[in-house]
Structure 1
Amino acid sequence: MDTRTEKVLAMILHLSAFLSGVFPIVIPLIIWLLKKDESQFINEHGKSALNFQLTMLIIGAGAIVFTLFTFGLGAFILIPLAIILGLFSLIFVIIATINASGGLLYKYPISIELIK
């Protein structure tokens, strides 16, 4: 696989975070599973993007459970935190995409390493 194709696929892996529903996880998972053995670059970016999206999913699910257990009162704490986390997520995805386009690897600073 040539480097240009690898860079574009790596960018798609990260930019899929801006899609709604389950697509931020499904699209990178499909690309990663199909190309991880062909390209170390795609393998690393795929794992990084998937780990970040799974981390965001876990944090979001935890926030919903916390809000339910506090009968909605937890929302007063979680809404400002969600806004801050959303901004950081946006910034991290943009940085990861820029790094991918330049042929560099990027590890998200807020990410649980579920896929190794």
Structure 2
Amino acid sequence: MKRKDNQLIVITHLSQLIGFLIGFGSLIVPLILWVTQKEKVLKMDDHGKSIINFQLSLIVYFIICIPLILLFGLGLLGFIVLGIFSFIFPIINAIKANNGEVPKYPLSLNFIS
């Protein structure tokens, strides 16, 4: 039987921000939390999938921005926008998760369904 644990789901969303503190871990920490808790915590599987899809999408978009730097600096603009998205949306979705709502990450590709 799965338990309801909104706090752990909120922590999983906020764990994406660890990359801003130590430079890495934005994908690794939520991935570990999701894999170890998806069978134990109600709705963790849905939240975890959306977080992992968002983080993998950000990686793809950051890689796409690298060659775009040569095109009038569009890549730099892309880095700034993606950086803002990667900071703001985990916080917004942590608040939504705390209220029992389903997370929605923009521009998220569906790697894991």
Could you give the per-residue CA deviations for residues 57-108 of structure 1, whole angstroms, max 9, x where no partner exists?
11112222x15xxxx5237111122212322332322210101111221121
Other structure's SS at 2:73 match:
helix
What is the alpha-carbon distance in structure 1 between the residues aligned to residue 39 and residue 108 of structure 2? Answer: 23
Equivalenced residue count is 109
Task: Return the offset for 1:31.
Answer: 1.1
What is the alpha-carbon distance in structure 2 between the residues aligned to residue 110 and residue 102 of structure 1? Answer: 23
Other structure's SS at 1:32 match:
helix
Which residue identity does 1:28 align to in structure 2? P
Q: TM-score, normalised by structure 2?
A: 0.82
Task: Return the offset for 1:7.
Answer: 1.1
Give 5+ residue unaligned stretches, structure 2. Answer: none
Q: CA RMSD in A?
A: 1.9
Task: Judge conservation of contact 1:16–1:28 (CA < 8 Å) in 2.
Answer: yes
Matches within 5 A, 1:10-29: 10-20=9-19, 21-29=23-31
Work out the percentage of aligned pairs sharing the same amino acid. 35
Q: TM-score, normalised by structure 1?
A: 0.80
Which has the larger share of helix?
Answer: 1
Matches within 5 A, 1:25-36: 25-36=27-38
